[in-house]
Structure 1
Amino acid sequence: MNVTSPFSLTVLAIVALSFLGLPIGHAMIGGSILYLLLAGLDMGTAAEQLLNGMYSNYILLAVPLFILAAELMNIGSMTDRLMSFCNAIVGRFRGGLAYVNIVQSIIFAGMSGSAIADAAGTGKMMQQMMTRDGKYPGSYAAALTAVTAVIGPIIPPSIPMVIYALVSDASIGYLFLAGVVPGLLMALAQMVIVFFDARRKNFPVEAPTPLRELPLITRRALPSLMMPVVLLGGIYTGATTPTEAAAVAAAYALLISTVLYRSVSYSDFYRSVLASARTTASIGMLIAGALVFNYVITVENIPQTLTTILQAWDLSPTGFLILVNVILLVLGCLLEGTTILLVVVPVLIPTARALGLDMVHFGVVVVVNIMIGLITPPYGLLLFIMTRIAEVPLRDLVRDTLPFLWAMVGSLVLITFFPGLVLWLPRLLGYQG
């Protein structure tokens, strides 16, 4: 590739601006405008691509609504009641709080759709519960909280899957269904690691919740437990689109927290809306930058060129999936997940289609790779978040994360080579792929 070509200079400009501290979304917009200038194209194309991409995609509205639902859930007592329910179910075993951490991530996965929201919300609470009175080492609690948060965007709803659907035209409903078994498989792998750690490190056994109290605890948590049912039931019965279901989820969280539990003040609501707006603006700028940069990639025929190169290598579908796994796992160490979804994945999709890969299966493999990237050294975003929340050295956190990381890579291998694990539930409910 010519290092003085407009595209090469654009990539160098994006990398340089990012290293100088400019957000990656802004860097992509700036680099793309430079490309239009050097290539002699209409500079207004950048604004046209941005506006058309942002305002013509109804599906994108689901992102801020899922974020708002997670914020409303965290400020109310929904979180406390669900924690009590999880503790009553699995807290009685050795290492009980570690199992509670995993189970609460499975339950909260049906509500927020964001790994970062799970780690910063319920994850922070679990960190405090596990380290109270020195029950668990701070680094182990932080590592477990980071890896369990990864489950959230795999089990529906999932913001990364919404973004993948945007770039691939795959069905969001079937993508959500396809994430259930892989998410549970990863949770099972984490529980196996906890099982051996609990005995090797002699983790404490929590006081068991009397069985006579279980109906009361369940009844108190039932409105919160019904949120995934309301959300996913609307989608799969055809009553709502995924975007409408996200709005229903946000409204349901607000209704339960304010009317039923009466645990949200006006100031709490204001702060949750403000936090949601900030997170949405951050993701929105990243999507906007990617839309403009993807136009540059299209003009340069990068997807077609890559498809031609890979076809020349005569890769089988399995060989291509192995290559994709390696590429995404490496990129996950360096780049933020949304950037990979919006910039790298669209380049890989034409080849995946040409090889006859199922777009729903491919989407789940992509999302799982990106989620593992959140906890992969040296730049896993969740590692940095938990280092700040738990106030533990990054070195210790990485050490305690590695066994879980290898177990999750093992789960990735299974869903890569056995598509039936991913597609079984969608096919059960009518998917023809």
Structure 2
Amino acid sequence: MTDPLTLAIVLIVVLVIAGQSVGITMIAGSLMYLVLAGRDPGLAPETMLQGLFNGYTLLAIPLFILAADIMNVGSLADRLLRFCQALVGRFRGGLGHVNVVSSVIFSGMSGSAVADAVGMGKIIIGMMTKDGRYTPQYAAAITAATATIGPIIPPSIPMVLYALVADQSIGFLFAAGILPGLMMAFMMAGMNYVIARRRNFPVDDVVPARELPALTFKALPALLLPVILLGGIYGGVVTPTEAAAVAAFYALVISIVLYRSVSIRQFYGALLSSARSTAAVGILVAGALAFEYVIVREQVPNQIASVMLDWEMNAITFLIAVNVLILVLGCVLEGGAILLIIVPILIPTAEALGIDMVHFGVVVVVNAMIGLITPPYGLLLFIVSNVSGAPIGKVIQEIWPFLLALIAALIVITFVPDIVLFLPRLLGYNG
């Protein structure tokens, strides 16, 4: 007779292929396992509730989502884009560079690739395609690619999820993502420059230097948000979870009181949007907690670690195997599912091989974010296709150069851990 774990995994795979939510499928698979294994099915909801109630760090997720939604409905994105255009719009392919720089800045506020693609993406794609300066598919592709920076430069919702499953410091993980995120941005800006030269993209109107102080002043309250958040976290004033609450409150104050760009109706819409997004993440986390009980009871992580050690796999070959595995899974699975289902199975082996857990966290998060633009599933590809009106097939054709640039950045991040760990060590990390 087939063992309960195999049947549970088969059920999960079948339901995912059928288009069901990953979180719900994991709950269903966990319940099937408990019933077939003769265990109390009540263990599933008990495990989920205990994990959610004890997961204090999870409170950061809905608060960062709310902050991003508030910023998206206000004029903050417009002010930031105008500021970025003044900085880099004068170069060939300038609006592509604006796209990259705006994603770097916005990533310091939202922590979400989807929030970046939806909020900033709507505006920048419209700017790029105006008067036919850029094709809709190119504007969509570079927008999807730059949105992957959002969860790497702090704050970062995926980093919070990794901290939960790996029991690591969110503060050190946030610090570890800064240099890799900037390197990803540099790689994509370089790729945009090469493509702009080859296709003779236009040079945008130069913003006079005398206007830069005024544009900076208008965008200053928004630009200060990342400084306030990171300063508060690393200065010991607030925890990362409290910083998320500060971000939401600050975004609300500057949008309503200072910019006066958010109405009551828009604020209500932002609350509804963040509630829906939070519910989706919550179901995914709950399902992962239930399924984690199953894989721990079956000792799956220990078995995998034992097999890999028997193969005499060292840290380098393990990291290569992990990168290949997650890149392949990213074609069909959402990043959060990878972090909550696959990564916990790999952590014991990584620890046994002496891999630094903060470095490992950045590697898997970057990899999972690349999955968001990896055909055929890539969630961001569908989002920007919908926003731009470009057919998904044409967006995929344009995404390959940026995908290769991000994979090149991933290789550097994987094999030069000092890039990842430099800032955490300055802040007292002993890894």
Same fold (TM over 0.5): yes
**SS across alignment from 1:371:** helix
* Map of 1:150 onto structure 2: 148
* Map of 2:9 onto structure 1: 11
**Which one of 95, 103, 118 corresponds to residue 105 of structure 1?**
103
**SS across alignment from 1:46:** helix
**SS across alignment from 1:111:** helix
Counting matched residue pairs gives 431
Aligned partners of 2:18, 2:138: CA distance in 1, in Å? 34
* Map of 2:132 onto structure 1: 134
Cα pair 2:140 2:395 within 8 Å, conserved: yes
* Map of 2:404 onto structure 1: 406
* Map of 2:247 onto structure 1: 249
Equivalent position amino acid for 1:211 in 2: A
* Map of 2:325 onto structure 1: 327
* Map of 1:223 onto structure 2: 221
* Map of 1:119 onto structure 2: 117
Post-superposition CA distance 1:85-132 (Å, at most 9, x none)? 101100111111110000000000100000011001101111111001
- CA-CA distance at 1:358 after TM superposition: 0.5
**Which one of 374, 377, 380 corresponds to residue 378 of structure 2?**
380
Aligned partners of 1:22, 1:400: CA distance in 2, in Å? 29
Structure 2 matches for 1:42-61, cutoff 5 A? 42-61=40-59
Aligned partners of 1:50, 1:107: CA distance in 2, in Å? 35
Instruction: After superposing the two structures, state which structure 1 stretch, 412-421 or 16-25, moved more.
Output: 16-25
Post-superposition CA distance 1:228-275 (Å, at most 9, x none)? 011111110011010000000000000001111111110010000000
Post-superposition CA distance 1:140-171 (Å, at most 9, x none)? 00000000000000110100000000000111
Counterpart check, 1:415 vs 2:409: no
Post-superposition CA distance 1:33-82 (Å, at most 9, x none)? 11100000011101110100111110000000000000011111111111
Equivalent position amino acid for 2:314 in 1: S
* Map of 1:168 onto structure 2: 166
Cα pair 2:79 2:219 within 8 Å, conserved: yes
Counterpart check, 1:79 vs 2:74: no
Structure 2 matches for 1:267-346, cutoff 5 A? 267-346=265-344
Aligned partners of 2:390, 2:425: CA distance in 1, in Å? 44
Equivalent position amino acid for 1:193 in 2: M
- CA-CA distance at 1:18 after TM superposition: 2.3
Aligned partners of 1:20, 1:329: CA distance in 2, in Å? 22
Structure 2 matches for 1:256-271, cutoff 5 A? 256-271=254-269
Aligned partners of 2:396, 2:17: CA distance in 1, in Å? 24
Counterpart check, 1:202 vs 2:200: yes
Instruction: After superposing the two structures, state which structure 1 stretch, 19-28 or 258-267, moved more.
Output: 19-28
Cα pair 2:78 2:123 within 8 Å, conserved: no
- CA-CA distance at 1:16 after TM superposition: 1.9
- CA-CA distance at 1:13 after TM superposition: 1.1
Counterpart check, 1:67 vs 2:65: yes
Aligned partners of 1:370, 1:423: CA distance in 2, in Å? 19
Instruction: After superposing the two structures, state which structure 1 stretch, 71-80 or 108-117, moved more.
Output: 71-80
- CA-CA distance at 1:22 after TM superposition: 2.3
* Map of 1:37 onto structure 2: 35
**SS across alignment from 2:373:** coil
Post-superposition CA distance 1:277-324 (Å, at most 9, x none)? 000001100110111011111111100100100000111111111111
Counterpart check, 1:183 vs 2:164: no
Aligned partners of 1:47, 1:138: CA distance in 2, in Å? 46
* Map of 1:426 onto structure 2: 424
- CA-CA distance at 1:17 after TM superposition: 2.1
**Which one of 89, 92, 97 corresponds to residue 90 of structure 2?**
92
- CA-CA distance at 1:182 after TM superposition: 0.6
Superposition TM-score, scaled by structure 2 size? 0.99
- CA-CA distance at 1:24 after TM superposition: 1.4
Superposition TM-score, scaled by structure 1 size? 0.98
**SS across alignment from 1:342:** helix
Unaligned 5+ runs, structure 2: none
- CA-CA distance at 1:395 after TM superposition: 1.9
Aligned partners of 2:16, 2:146: CA distance in 1, in Å? 29
Equivalent position amino acid for 1:191 in 2: A
* Map of 1:366 onto structure 2: 364
Post-superposition CA distance 1:386-420 (Å, at most 9, x none)? 11111212221111110111111011111111101
Aligned partners of 2:110, 2:338: CA distance in 1, in Å? 21
**SS across alignment from 1:110:** helix
